[in-house]
Structure 1
Amino acid sequence: MLMYSSGYSSDMRMCDLVCDRYPVLQVMSRFGIALGFGDKTIAEVCAENKVDTETFLAVVGMSVNRSGGVELSGAVAVRSLLSYLHNSHSYFLGFRLPAIRRKLIGAVDCSLSDVSFAIMRYFDEYAAEVDRHMAYEEKSVFPYVEALLAGEKKADYSIDVFRRQHDQVEARLHELKNIIIKYYPSGGTNELNGVLYDIFTCEEELASHNAVENELFIPAVERLAADGPGEARQEPLSAREREIIVCVVKGLTNKEIADCLCISTHTVITHRRNIASKLQIHSAAGLTIYAIVNKLVELSEIKDSISDTSA
């Protein structure tokens, strides 16, 4: 069972995590995890969406505590984190900033106030700056990391270059927020207050994005550059998955496993699919060997089922 300082574990239900910390919805969307997962655990939902569970929990932990990322960076899968950051760029550039701009246009009247015109210009310059920053990552940083994952090391680039050039893109948004609060002419509307609320939220989201890059992504890439891609890490089994393996090697059918563990047959099938994906073992005989080697069962416990199968 994976457990982080945030207090969340891989065996926790994903729906409980979302209800406890609703900002996790943003983390889920950037990993490509959709709603509708029922009562499945975090590990089950991640496995179904081909997301590394440890990476997901590390990012969640950072969004909760905003600290400890460097310590967690050794546990993350760089490819999963790369996908997360790419989707984050799409979110900010394709949705979040354009949505704020549309609301800002509705809240300030540029024809009536020079301040309004200046605010819109400031925002457009800021959005262009964010676009340049993220375009650099897409064109220079991410291809470098993809090459590292493929076992190629480019001598003409280093992640340290990115570290030195990594501007805090939320800083100017903080400045814009203060300008509107302090200097926009009196008679502000609900629309303007609503835009300010969105700017506050976006500032926090960008700060979290930068923290993930600084404390998770950069250290993980440095480790990848030093050690090479190595072998793909096998995602650990959940406690429930280990229980199901024991039932399988004892010869129980899916229906019997469901009755024994008080879950549905559909859930058993989903667990077995996840087990096969994690272990790359698709037969009961293979699971039997795995269970014995990993001391999930004793040989004496499964002799009868082996005899029955042989007969």
Structure 2
Amino acid sequence: MTTGYTEHNKMSDVIASQPSLLQMISRFGIQLGVGEKTVREVCEASKVDTTTFLAVANVMKQGATAAGFYIDKIDMPTMMRHLESAHEFFLDFQLPHIRRKLLEAIDCSRQNEVAFLILKFYDEYMHEVRKHMEYENQHIFSYVKRLLAGEKVTDFRIGQYSSSHDGMEHKLQELKNIIIKYYSPNEGTSSDLLCYVLFSIYNSEADLRAHCDMEDSLFFPAVQLLEERIANNQFVSNTGAENEDGETLTERERQIVACVVRGLTNREVAEHLFISINTVLTHRRNISRKLDIHSVSGLTIYAIVNGIVQIDEVSLN
């Protein structure tokens, strides 16, 4: 493979060469302000596997042809965290944001059949994306975690999974055609907002297609390789060692745990520790991953047992 990104490139140069990577570094939990640091230095500081980062970046840059070099090299937990973060972005931010802007741009104040058809199509599209991503979150990633634990799963293979990417793209294409061909704003109404929404839909489509291509060319083949290694007794699970190291929280993570169990909101935690809300959310995801604890009640017990807080400091609301 040639002309790809390497661990020795400056992270700032990598981002500047392809602005679409801004979404990717956010999904890895990497913050801006990278200075003159190399890709490896930034990844190590953010506790991100460098090879997996480069795999995603180079597939985005060069397409599926770059994936073959990395299929047997990526760190699967890092890859899944990246994909889960992408799912959160699509479902909790990007798609709802576009819908809100779409409601502002089209005329829903009167009986406009085309306007309601546009909303209907968009809601159907959101439903398809949500169903697809929630299935992966709940079933595919759980299946891969079982494989990583060394379990020989006999009732499922990743090849049986149909990602239904084509169906999502077909519905979005139909939506764009309806807006372009059949919807006209009211007389005297600016079409700027509708054009902005349409442009956002195109960008969302490109982002989602890149995400799906990443799964098809890199993630699913890597899962198939993992299946083969387990079937041939060539895979040694190191889950125990990972958990032992992973349960050690950093000082910043301990501070965030203390704030959370004392009843502070994410915004209040950010203000108290002088960090961004995104940084708080990233730390909370890492804490949940390390401890396998996903509730405030569970964190409270952990914090008391490990001496992070005293029981009289805990919010009981």
Settle same-fold status: TM greater than 0.5. yes
Secondary structure of residue in 1 paired with 2:4: coil
Mapped contact 2:105–2:193 kept (Cα < 8 A): yes
Q: Provide the residue aligned with 2:205 in structure 1.
A: 203
Q: CA deviation at 1:179?
A: 1.6
Alpha-carbon distance in 2 for matches of 1:140, 1:45: 32
Mapped contact 1:111–1:117 kept (Cα < 8 A): no
When normalised by structure 2's length, the TM-score is 0.68
Q: CA deviation at 1:72?
A: 2.8
Percent same amino acid among aligned pairs? 41
Mapped contact 1:6–1:61 kept (Cα < 8 A): no
Q: CA deviation at 1:74?
A: 2.0
Structure 1 pair 186/105, CA: closer, same or farther in 2 (3 Å)? closer
Q: 4+ residue runs of structure 1 moved beyond 6 angstroms? A: none
Query: What is the letter of the counterpart of residue 76 of structure 1?
Result: I
Mapped contact 1:30–1:84 kept (Cα < 8 A): yes
Runs of 5+ unmatched residues, structure 1: 233-311
Q: CA deviation at 1:174?
A: 2.2
- RMSD (CA atoms): 1.7
Alpha-carbon distance in 2 for matches of 1:64, 1:82: 20
- Deviations along 1:6-26, one digit per CA (max 9) or x if unpaired, are 532111110111111111111
Mapped contact 1:12–1:41 kept (Cα < 8 A): yes
Match of 2:23 among 23, 26, 43: 26
Q: Provide the residue aligned with 2:4 in structure 1.
A: 7
Larger Rg: 1
Q: CA deviation at 1:230?
A: 3.5
Q: CA deviation at 1:50?
A: 1.6
Structure 1 residues 17-166: aligned runs within 5 Å:
17-68=14-65, 69-112=67-110, 113-162=112-161, 164-166=162-164
When normalised by structure 1's length, the TM-score is 0.70
Runs of 5+ unmatched residues, structure 2: 239-317
Query: What is the letter of the counterpart of residue 59 of structure 2?
Result: M
- Deviations along 1:145-198, one digit per CA (max 9) or x if unpaired, are 011111112211111122x34433333222211221111125661000000110
Query: What is the letter of the counterpart of residue 81 of structure 2?
Result: S
Q: CA deviation at 1:111?
A: 2.7
Alpha-carbon distance in 2 for matches of 1:156, 1:28: 35
Alpha-carbon distance in 2 for matches of 1:95, 1:42: 27
Structure 1 pair 48/171, CA: closer, same or farther in 2 (3 Å)? farther
How many residues were matched structurally? 228
Alpha-carbon distance in 1 for matches of 2:90, 2:163: 19
Mapped contact 2:132–2:163 kept (Cα < 8 A): no
- Which structure exhibits the higher relative contact order, with contacts defined as CA atoms closer than 8 Å and separated by 6 or more residues? 1
Alpha-carbon distance in 2 for matches of 1:101, 1:118: 13
